[in-house]
Amino acid sequence: MRLNSRFWYLLSVLFFVAAVWFWLKGDEERARRKAGGGSVAARRAGPLTGSKVQAPAGGTNASGPTGKAGSVAGGNQATGGVSPGAKQSARGRQGRFPYRLSNTEQPLSKLGRSDTAILLDNAFIDTASRRPVEVPEHLRAEGDPGSYLVQSRHALDNAFYGSLRQAGAEFVSYIPNNAALVRVSAVGAGQLAGLPGIQAVLPYEPYYKLSQPLLALAVEKQSLPLNSPLNVTLFAGAKEEVSGALRDLGAAVIREERTPFGPLLTIEAPADSLAELAQLRGVQRIEYASGRGWLNDRSRVRLHVSADTVAPTNYLDLTGTNVMLNINDTGVDATHPDLSGRVFTTDTNSFTLLDVEGHGTHVAGTMIGSGGLSATALDVHGDPPSGSVTNADFRGLAPAASLFVLPIDLRIGPLISDTYLQETAASNNFIALGRTNAVVSNNSWSYVNAFEYDAASASYDAAVRDAIPERPGSQPILYVFAAGNSGFGSTNGTVGEPDS
């Protein structure tokens, strides 16, 4: 009987301790909910009730009045306004990318493998986090943005694309991880957010449209530098709408070309118009419009084309006979004895067979120079050039190949479009010459100070598969670009922007 009393006494103490623990946890939960803006039900309330859609800032949308900015459902993160302290906190961890937003402390090495991470170049978002992404107020969507980031709970599949179609959404591009940029109304976004296979639906904020070099100006409300044209990529079908808005802003369109994601307009915009441009619903991306800039006796040896610099033949006796290569450069001197008779261009580009700069002819010599005058390559003392040896052979990598030359404009900017370079080279190879294999295109230039993956990068990537998308079948080009010397590293010896 005494043993039973002790048992009940200990059991009572245990229950009492448990009650105290649950009571303290309840207080903690109530405090957390109060700090987070109310109950779970309240947090779920927003412009699209019961959805996973974040609320755009201000205005109304097609599904009803806009609720409190930053409201969200399903436990997904929200967009909030930026206080000075929050803004500093968002930037402090990222010295090299001070304007890249994030709502998580997780490093990129982990986010890259996370199914709930959305990785933009200017924002790392964990959709499983309740912490808001602190987007500056003037760079948040005003009302329905017309475009959203839709994240699946797993890899994108036919069911995901089918859901987009049912919601009236238009797929634009893949966004890592497991997400897509889509054009859709607020009603369609709400429909998508209610599906069990959808992890999150986030507004495509104007902030996300700006390339890294433009972010500081936009966030700090500073003016564009003088003579700084912009490349503005539009959503498909938005050209007429955006063109009218650009005129209203006082912007002038100076060039147009296609990209894999929609039309690209090169514009001269008013100095203080960045935020207004980003707010346009039909605008997908805004970047600086950079001009092109230049970026070779041991090249064959380093590439294992020949055993040494005096060997008269290449590996496997390969010479490039009957091969037509493409070069986009300053021009090529067609009268040069090492190149004569093997350099061609279009009827309208005859000036390209002259080269007052010398850069294109130099690169052409590396590619297809015959080396026929190698014995005459001596210095003023009659000796081999410094660093070379007697009887060195200065022929190119493919000394019997031919060149199809197209011009690039290095003085006044990229007036010769990437689209023109791609389609003209492909047309010469597949249509004019009737060939079926991919053409190799050399490009010893880069866009000055353009270190990001931008619209031009995507354009050339697409042309690797098909350089003339309007023509049946594929017309692929194998592009070779110079790495360049414009990359910069960190003070600790790590690479900053790899090459250029």
What are the residue boundaries of the structural domains of the chain, listed by start? 101-209, 215-289, 294-481
pLDDT of 51 > 50? The answer is no
Average pLDDT, integer, range 160-182: 97
pLDDT at 484: 72
* CATH of the structural domain 101-209, one choice from 3.10.450, 3.30.70, 1.25.10, 2.60.40: 3.30.70
Asked whether the beta carbons of 52 and 72 are under 8 A apart, the reply is yes
- What predicted TM-score, i.e. pTM, was given to this entire model? 0.69
pLDDT (tens digit per residue) in 211-240 = 999 999 999 999 999 989 999 999 999 999
pLDDT at 318: 76
Report which of 223, 94, 204, 103 is spatially closest to residue 147, judged by C-alpha positions: 204
pLDDT of 387 > 80? The answer is no
pLDDT at 195: 96
pLDDT at 347: 87
pLDDT band of 58, cuts 50, 70, 90: very low
pLDDT band of 182, cuts 50, 70, 90: very high
pLDDT at 236: 95
Which of 323-327, 345-349, 446-450 is predicted most confidently?
Answer: 323-327
d(CA 91, CA 102): 9
pLDDT (tens digit per residue) in 68-122 = 323 333 334 444 444 333 343 444 445 778 999 999 999 999 999 999 999 999 9
CATH second-level architecture of 215-289? Answer: 2-Layer Sandwich (3.30)
pLDDT at 21: 64
Asked if the domains 101-209 and 215-289 are classified in one and the same CATH topology, the answer is yes
pLDDT band of 287, cuts 50, 70, 90: very high
In the chain, pLDDT over 70 holds for what percent of residues? Answer: 69
pLDDT (tens digit per residue) in 427-458 = 999 999 999 999 999 999 988 888 888 999 99
Asked whether the beta carbons of 281 and 398 are under 8 A apart, the reply is no
